Structure 1
Amino acid sequence: MRKPMRTFDYFQLGLALFGLTIFLCLMLGVLYDLPYLHWIDQLGLHQIREPLTAERSWFFRNVTRAGNTRWTAVVMAATIAVSLIVKKYDIAVFMFVNVAIFALGGMVVLKHTFNRPRPDILHLVSASGTSFPSGHALNSILLYGSLIVLTHYYVHNIYLRYAFTTLLATLIIAIPMSRVYLGVHYLSDVLAGMSLGTFFLIMSKEFIFKYRTREFFENEENT
C-alpha cells in the first residue's frame, strides 16, 4: 500500500526561512561591524550576564556541559545505534545529518569563516577558538530539537511526551544563555547559532521524514 504523505508544512517553512533571515542579518552585522550588533550584544551582557553570583555561576557552568561537542557526539551516537538496532533508518539519517553534518561539521566551517574573537571580558569557563556563531547554541537546537521531533513522533503517552519536550526545550534555552553568562559568547553569537539551527532542523525534518504526520507513525504497522 502506498504510504500516506501530506503537503509541505508552509508555516514551518516560513519559520525556517525566518530563522535563516535572522542568521543572515547577524552575519552581515559581524562582517560589516554594524551598530545593531553592538546593541544586541550589550543587551545580552546586561540582561543575561548580570548579576554574577555564585549560584548562577554554578548553574550555568553545569548546564553548558550539555551542549559541548563531546556530549553532543555521545548522545548522537547512542541515538543512532538504537535506531539501527530497531531498524528505524530514517531516525539514524535524521540524527547524523543534523548533528554530525549541520551542528558539528557546520560549526567548524562557520567559525573558521567568520573568525570573530570571543568577548574581551572575564570568562568563567575555558573556551578556545572563535565566537561566531555559538557552537553550543547550534548543538542545542540540532541535538535537543531533533530529540523533540522524535519524541513527538514516537512517544505516544501524552504526559511523557510533554515531560520530555519540556525538559529538552529547557535545555535549548538554558544552554545558549549559559554561553553569554559565562562570558565566552556574545548574544548575537547564540542567536545566530539558534536561528541557523532552527532552519536546518525544520528543513531536515520535512525532507527526511517525507512530510509525514504523527498519524503515519502511529499507524505505520497497519498500512
Structure 2
Amino acid sequence: MQKKLIYQYAGSCFLLLFVFLGYVVKFYPSWLNPFDETLTRVIRSGYPMMTPFFLWVTKFANPITIILLFLVVLAVFLINKYYAEALWLGLGTIGIAGLFNPLIKLVFLRERPTLEHLVVETSSSFPSGHSTGSMVFYGSLLLLIPILFKQSFWQWTLRILLGVLIALIGISRIYVGVHFPSDVLGGFCVGLSWLLLTYPYYRQKRFVWRFTRKQL
C-alpha cells in the first residue's frame, strides 16, 4: 500500500509538471527560452563529431523500431502466458505513445527549432514523441525485467542500460535539431506519469490473474 502511494504521488507530480510545461508552451513560450537555449548549446557542443552516434541512438525510438520490438516482446509475453504484462505494455505503447502523444501535439502546435534538422520530421514539436515512446516502451521493459530475468546481476545491468538508452534518446532529439529540451522533458513527463500511475494497478492485476490461474 505504501509503495502504491509513492508511485501515485510521483506519477501525479510528473503529470502536473507536464500540465505546467504545456501551459507555458501554449501561452508564454518565451519563458522557456533561457532553459532551451542553454541546454541546446551544451548538447550540441559536440557537433558535428557526435552526429553519427546520435543519429544511431535516435533510431531506437523511431516508430518502426518501437513497433517491431513491441511485437517481439508482446509475442514473448503471450507465449509465456504473461497476460497482465502484455496488456499493460500494449496499453502504454499503443494508447499513450501511439495515440495520445500525436493527438496532444495538436493542442500545442509548437513549431520545431530553427536549427538545421539532421532528420526529417513533419509533426509539431511538443511533446517529443520519441521521448514519450522511449519512456513508455523501454520504461515498461525496465519495470518488467524481473519477470524475464531472475538473477539480480542481469536485472540491474539491463535496468541501467535501458535507463541510459532512454536518456540518450531524449538527448539525441535535441542534438539532431528537431526538439527543444522542454519538448523532451514534456515527453518524459507524459511517459513517467503513465508508468508510475498505472504500474501499481498492473501489479494488482497480475496478482489476481496468477491467483485465479492457480485456483483453476
TM-score for both structures, normalised by structure 1: 0.88
| Match status 1:169 vs 2:168 | no
Q: Which runs of 5+ in 1 are unaligned?
A: 1-5
Measure the CA separation in 2 of the matches of 1:105 and 1:144: 17
2:34 counterpart of 1:39: yes
1:206 partner amino acid? P
Match of 1:186 among 180, 188, 193: 180
**Matches for 1:198-209 after TM superposition, within 5 Å:** 198-209=192-203
Shift of 1:97: 0.6
Question: Would you say 1:74 and 2:72 are equivalent positions?
Answer: no
What is the match of residue 25 of structure 2?
30
1:190 and 1:22 mapped to 2: Cα distance? 13
Where does 1:1-223 land on structure 2 (aligned, <5 Å)? 6=1, 9-54=4-49, 56-210=50-204
Change in CA separation of 1:175 and 1:21 when aligned onto 2, cut-off 3 Å? same
Quote the Cα distance in structure 2 between the aligned partners of 1:211 and 1:170: 29
* 1:105-135 alpha-carbon deviations (Å, 9 max, x no partner): 1121111221111111111122221101000
Structure 1 residue ranges, 4+ long, deviating more than 3 angstroms after superposition: none
Higher helix content, 1 or 2? 2
Instruction: Output the amino acid matched with 1:94.
Output: W
Contact 2:132 2:191 in 1 (8 A): yes
Counterpart-to-counterpart distance in 1, 2:15 and 2:101: 15
- Aligned partners of 1:136 and 1:175 also within 8 Å: yes
Alpha-carbon shift at residue 7 of structure 1 (Å): 5.4
**After alignment, is 41-50 or 95-104 more displaced?**
41-50
Q: Give the partner amino acid of 1:78.
A: V
- CA root-mean-square deviation: 2.2
The alignment covers a number of residue pairs equal to 212
* Structure 2, unaligned runs of 5 or more: none
State the shift of 1:33 in Å. Answer: 2.1
Displacement of 1:43 in angstroms is: 2.0
Matched residues in 2 for 1:16 and 1:63: separation?
27
Mapped partners of 1:72, 1:166: distance in 2: 19
